[in-house]
Amino acid sequence: MKKANVAVVGVGAVGEEMLRVLKQRRFPVGELRVFARSNREITVDGEKYNVLSLDANSFKGIDIALFAGTEGEKGAAVTYAPDAIKAGAVVIDNGADFRMRTDVPLVVPEVNAKDIKKHKGIIANPNCSTIQMVVALAPIQKKAGLKRVIVTTLQASSGAGRGAVEQLKEETDKISSAQCQNIHVQAEKKSMPQQLGFNVFPHIGSFVEDDYTNEEWKLVKETHKIMHDDKIKISATTVRVPVRTGHSESIYIETARPIAPEKVKALLAKAPGIILIDDPKNSLYPMPKDVEGKDEVFVGRIRKDPFVKNGLWLWVVADNLRKGAATNAVQIAEELIK
């Protein structure tokens, strides 16, 4: 690969993970610039980065601009993407602002890498939950077709930013302490709409059409766009759980043509970006604690519905900060410079 000058915009959890992934995947970086709202110095895995204040002139000489889209940097891509494009950079945006625009490709490289060629200066990174779901479903769609998808996501606190991770820790510590006899606690800095420690709640995003949240609608609309099929019937429930990092998904599908669970396992075992862990008799299946820091999507618990023809269940887990955000963005950048 030829070297590229790269800018990372945002130094929240996703921005820091982008820096980590660029280094770990040995991305051929020529010059690296890191931007945020203000000048500062950060340290990631022992390496120091000089963070510069972002302005309209920041992108001169930059080939690829990775916008983290993290809390505290929302709106940065909307404000500065035109400046980056004007300077000659290709923008890869992790935020939601451009995902559903018809002139912006929404890309998961294992699924629709060819769409990258359609870009007009901006490529959108999908929602974290969408990414891991379509990686698992795409091989099945190609082999047997998809009629229906019903998904319940169990999303980690880090998906909501550092404030949610801090709230989880604070609430867990309070409840676990001998001094706290009441399971209902109040974090000093509350980021979530409900208590997260020792609790789950079905509320991610804001409630919109038909009392679904916008996070739930993202799974529907983004999947249709990525898989180029808006006839798939998709319904979702998104749930916040007391896990630090790693989203889990319970996915029910109905295929258009019959396919046995054993064939699905064989199909996914050789699919790019997927690791199959499916040995329930020995209590082996994907779990968030085991996938943190990894780039693949992990799939298990593949089984048929004994009551519905062509019905199948899957259990899908991935690191939401890596494959669900930073890694997917860097993979798009890798495709760009091939």
Query: What pLDDT sits at residue 178?
Result: 59
pLDDT digits (tens, 9 = 90+) for 204-261: 999 999 999 999 999 999 999 999 999 999 999 999 999 999 999 999 999 999 999 9
Query: Which residues are part of the catalytic machinery?
Result: 128, 247
The mean pLDDT value for 48-72 works out to 90
| Domain at 130-320, CATH class | alpha beta
Lowest mean pLDDT across 95-109, 126-140, 162-176: 162-176
Angle between helices 128-144 and 261-269 (to 10 degrees): 120
CB contact at 8 A, 240 and 196: yes
CATH 3.40.50.720 domain locations along the chain: 4-125+325-337
The mean pLDDT value for 266-279 works out to 98
CB contact at 8 A, 102 and 124: no
pTM of the model: 0.95
Average pLDDT, the chain: 95
CATH 3.30.1360.120 fits 4-125+325-337, yes or no: no
The mean pLDDT value for 305-330 works out to 98
Measured distance CA(232)–CA(253) in Å, rounded: 10
CATH 3.30.360.10 domain locations along the chain: 130-320
The mean pLDDT value for 104-133 works out to 98
Query: What pLDDT sits at residue 73?
Result: 45
